[in-house]
Structure 1
Amino acid sequence: MDAADTAADSAARATAPEVALAVALTGEQQKFRHTLRDLLAERAGPGENRAATPEGYDTGLWARLSDTLGLAGLALPAEYGGAGRGPAELALACEETGRALAPSPLLATAVLTAPLIAALGTPAQRAELLPRIADGSLTCALAVPGGSLALALGLTGDNAAEHWSGGGRAGGIQARAVDGGGAGAGTGGTGWRLYGEAAQVLDGHTADLLLVAAHTGGFARSRTLLFLVREREGGTPGVVRTRRTALDPTRPQAGVELRDAEAELLGEEPADVLGALAATGRTAAVMLAAEAVGAAGAALDRALAHLGSRGQPQAHAHEQAHAHEQAHAHAQALAAKGTLADLYVRVEAARSLTYCAAREPGPGPESGPLALAQALEALRATTGESARLHGGDSAEDQEARLFFQRAASDELLFGPARRLRARAAERTGLFGEVAA
């Protein structure tokens, strides 16, 4: 057995479930991971195509994930019905949902929206909304203007320096105080009206609650605030939601139009909305990295299984032609095994960075975005090789394409990796004036 065979076989053994993580897990975390993986294997997976449902996900599975494992409230405080766990447990959950490409409200509700409500909401808003999020009965979506989600979260640029929410000019989403609303407007669902459009709202077509970032105050007093727009039975006046075709069908998106839509201010002014968005972005980057690592690991496992299932070529009438095909197939297999061994190292490095960022602040507040950059690159490379190896029209080939589509979609929504790194370098002053 040559070096390429040895490296690939070692990589294949190392991707077994018991030793897939390059970081230590507690016994409780191991049990949680196995339970979640078994449940997802039963009800989810690329072949299930649960995103084709009207909701964009399996509502029964989400109910079980919330009831059995407390997934929706995993990181919420116990006082609001959550489990009070840290980012490491939530990252573990995201890795498993990413591994299965399982459509669910986890990212939009628990990762992007719930932390903002917990950080900025009034006591009454937190008491009303967070317990319903924790038990899985309330799903949420974060709506920002245009395609600026990564910028709004401070991942690819300074969300305080660029007018992504409208900047007091035409475009974006504008908020107008009515009925003498002023600073406290929005109490009880009155006092504000929203106008504008958000083009790429994750789970926006079915979320029970929209958390909308809007610009208000005009150009002279320009500021961005967050508003609650509640779904009503029969539809919300002034709100038009349209599910849109997404590059990644397992991550449903919607366009949301706001036409004099009634809204409630989240929290009270003054509030550091941009700072809260950036903090949420740093945590979300870790969870997105965990999803990407899970998907990359699954794509790598599929590629190894596919390579191993390639039997010897069928017998030919002419022995010389048979020997030539055998030699060619062996050479291809050796090259593929060497490539997959290299990809295994990249995936494990991304996994290690992700869990380091989840378990402690790390070498600065940019550890999450840097882990995301590494994970996105590993996902892109791994899914590309997996799709190349499958390269046909069978069910397995279609599933390999789904993993590749997840990689491309995440780069568009939250990257690209070079911009994540450039923003991290700018914030930390890593390259001094060059980064600036």
Structure 2
Amino acid sequence: MHFAFTDEQEDLRRTVRAFFDKTSSEPELRRLMDSPEGHDPGVWQRMGSEIGVQGLMVPEEFGGAGCGMVELGVVMEEAGRALLCAPLLSSAVMATTALLRCEDPDARKRLLPRLAAGETVATFALTEDTARWDEEGVRLAAREDADGGWRLFGHKNFVLDGAVADVVLTVARTPDGIGLFCVEGDAPGLVREALPTLDPTRRQARLEYREVPATRVRIPGNGWDLVSEVLDRTAAALAAEQVGVAERALDMAVEYAKTRHQFGRAIGSFQAVKHLLADVLLEVESARAAAYFALLSADGGGDYLPNVAGLAKAFCSDAAVLAASENIQVHGGIGFTWEHTAHLYLKRAKTSQLLLGDSAHHRELLAQRIGV
């Protein structure tokens, strides 16, 4: 199979890369790492109003572009290259996917236009203290009031952008199974605490639900089926982001190998460095193929998406960690310093490797599905 992007998709890539070059430079990246929000709300709104990133998957009737996962993957790859400090994965991927896959026209009509315009940040709260990404890990309880309203009791942990999100789509356990609930960020009883993280470019939070009022989102059939689809599509998007991380780390290593001289010659001329970079290039290109196939599978609607997405997530995560680690190796001592950006790519790669479950988790799921 020969995969090639369309002219429109390549235009999208160029536009997004130019935007990120201006708004996500290294000085700006370091400023946002130390800011309370972890991102620039003004830039977030510009992403929605100027280039329509948040609304790529949103149907036109809700103010979006009506595109698919491939177009979103182009943006995620560029976001990985830039180490974008923004709630892109949590809001434009996880929360938006949950709304698109639900059967609640009121929730879609109320939230999707705001998400597409960059006016609102949403997140998807699933994991708890066990950090399990499966149905058994859901312990937060939802109880129905006498008047038909709902209250949530418990907590969520490791929630992406949970401390700043305007809306938290929360997975909870109800008397009839897994349910999805919409919680306003300023709801009474919701206590949000930012967590210290290895990767300062992607924020996480712990959320305490102390009898928090919530609106139940109507979903088709078994609630966990919707959650699983959100996780599969997020895995495909995250795989694309990891390709961007790996690609940029490799580019940094190649650039440095050409300019750093030792013993009177560029270190890139040494056979050991050549072989190292060649091995990384092979992994990056293989990861790119895996990520693109996962994105195509998500748009194709086949029932093999769970297998493809999980495998792509596992492979691309490992490739990104390898590329970022070898980038530091090529840079030598300077690669370990806080002043150099190499360590930030390794931290993004490592935390993303664990997000949604590590590589061993996804390979084990694949083995179970195919009966190995």
CA contact (8 A) 1:292 1:376 kept: yes
How much has 1:43 moved relative to structure 2? Answer: 1.1
Structure 2 residue 10 is the aligned partner of structure 1 residue 56: no
What is the aligned counterpart of 1:341 among 257, 274, 278? 278
SS in 2 for 1:64: helix
1:288-319: CA deviation from partner (whole Å, max 9, x where unpaired): 000000000000000111111113x4xxxxxx
TM-score normalised by length of structure 1: 0.79
How much has 1:272 moved relative to structure 2? Answer: 2.3
What is the aligned counterpart of 1:285 among 219, 227, 235? 235
SS in 2 for 1:284: helix
Aligned to 1:175: 142
CA contact (8 A) 1:350 1:378 kept: yes
CA contact (8 A) 1:45 1:101 kept: no
How much has 1:332 moved relative to structure 2? Answer: 8.3
What is the aligned counterpart of 1:40 among 20, 40, 62? 20
How much has 1:343 moved relative to structure 2? Answer: 0.7
SS in 1 for 2:188: coil
1:27-426 map, 5 Å: 27-47=7-27, 48-49=29-30, 50-147=32-129, 151-152=133-134, 159=135, 163-166=136-139, 173-181=140-148, 191-217=149-175, 223-232=177-186, 236-267=187-218, 271-311=221-261, 313=262, 325-326=263-264, 333-360=270-297, 361=300, 364-365=304-305, 366-393=307-334, 398-426=340-368
What is the CA–CA distance in structure 2 between the aligned matches of 1:26 and 1:300, rounded to whole Å?
25
Relative to structure 1, is the Cα distance of residues 411 and 332 closer, same or farther in structure 2, using a 3 angstrom cutoff?
A: same
What is the CA–CA distance in structure 2 between the aligned matches of 1:96 and 1:37, rounded to whole Å?
6
- How many residues end up aligned between the 2 structures? 364
What is the CA–CA distance in structure 2 between the aligned matches of 1:230 and 1:104, rounded to whole Å?
19
What is the CA–CA distance in structure 2 between the aligned matches of 1:207 and 1:148, rounded to whole Å?
22
Aligned to 1:6: none
How much has 1:66 moved relative to structure 2? Answer: 0.9
What is the CA–CA distance in structure 1 between the aligned matches of 2:180 and 2:249, rounded to whole Å?
38
What is the CA–CA distance in structure 1 between the aligned matches of 2:267 and 2:127, rounded to whole Å?
52
Superposed CA RMSD in Å reads 2.2
CA contact (8 A) 1:370 1:420 kept: yes
What is the CA–CA distance in structure 2 between the aligned matches of 1:58 and 1:192, rounded to whole Å?
33
After TM superposition, what 4+ stretches of structure 1 lie above 4 angstroms from structure 2?
147-150, 329-332, 393-397
What is the CA–CA distance in structure 1 between the aligned matches of 2:77 and 2:268, rounded to whole Å?
34
Relative to structure 1, is the Cα distance of residues 426 and 139 closer, same or farther in structure 2, using a 3 angstrom cutoff?
A: same
How much has 1:326 moved relative to structure 2? Answer: 4.8
TM-score normalised by length of structure 2: 0.92
Which amino acid is the alignment partner of residue 50 of structure 2? T
1:253-291: CA deviation from partner (whole Å, max 9, x where unpaired): 1111111111111116x7421001111111111100000
Q: Which has the larger radius of gyration?
A: 1
1:357-403: CA deviation from partner (whole Å, max 9, x where unpaired): 21234792211111111101110111111112224357786310011
CA contact (8 A) 1:74 1:83 kept: yes
Question: Looking at both structures, which has the greater relative contact order when contacts are Cα pairs under 8 Å and sequence separation is at least 6?
Answer: 1
How much has 1:52 moved relative to structure 2? Answer: 2.3
SS in 2 for 1:214: strand
